[in-house]
Structure 1
Amino acid sequence: MELGTHLGMDIRELLSGLTGAQRVYGEPYERDGITVIPAAVIRGGGGFGNGNGELGSGEGGGGGITGRPIGAYVIKDGEVRWEPALDVGRLVLGGQLLVALLALLAFRLLRRRK
């Protein structure tokens, strides 16, 4: 039995569906003479295992895929421009890390003065 056939598909079909431009660029749409082509970053990974130890044999497997929007190409009057997506979650996390780093530096400077 080939890997992936228990899911009703060949592994090559599965992998081809997870790659390519159709997974990175969304369907273009038009409104009021402006065409928008959304874009995303897609990341995936997987792992498999096997074993034959004293306690018996083993199997394994796993995987995951994630995606997030990164922006869109906007076409208006024959001009194309890139509009990056604003990831508020990343901005907040970056701000929190910066504040934590500044607090740590301030604490160390105050401690040295004593």
Structure 2
Amino acid sequence: MAVPHFDPADLTRAVSDTLSVRRVFGEAYERDGTLVIPVARVWGATGSGSGSGQVGVPADAEGEGVPAGGQQGDGGGGGYGVHVTALGVFVVDGSGARWQPALDVNRVVLGAQLVGAVVLSTAALAWAFRRR
């Protein structure tokens, strides 16, 4: 039975294809004489490792493997992750180019929750001090 061999170059090629400028600047399209170019923030991380050794081989006094019925083993693996966030679009028309930012609803909601928490905490502290 053949064991698949891990090739770090394959992982590097996959990451390179994924983290390309095409992910940052999307496919431009034209509508009613206006060119729209989508823009995103892209970041990624990758990691890999490999190793080999003898399985089932006892060590002698010096810590060296004694080749008495052991098996050679190899292994490796890797992976990567990518995070893409839409930032907005460049709009190019007869009057020039302009930036249209994307509205991140999650940030708006998180900001409102933080403001609400600060206001409620301040009100609770003011009420506690006033009560003393």
Q: TM-score, normalised on structure 2? A: 0.66
Query: Percent of aligned pairs with the same residue?
Result: 41
Q: Give the structure with higher Rg (CA).
A: 2
Q: Could you report, residue by residue, the CA deviation over 1:13-62 in whole angstroms, capped at 9, with x for unpaired residues? A: 112112231110101100100000001111222445789xxxxxx97755
| Residue matched to 2:96 | 79
RMSD: 2.4
Unaligned runs of 5+ in 1: 5-9, 52-57
| Residue matched to 1:26 | 26
Higher relative contact order (CA 8 A, sep 6+): 2
1:84/1:108 CA distance change after superposition, 3 Å: same
Q: How many residue pairs get matched?
A: 103
2:120 to 86, 103, 107: 103
Unaligned runs of 5+ in 2: 52-74
| Greater share of helix | 1
Q: Could you report, residue by residue, the CA deviation over 1:48-87 in whole angstroms, capped at 9, with x for unpaired residues? A: 5789xxxxxx977554222121100000115000000011
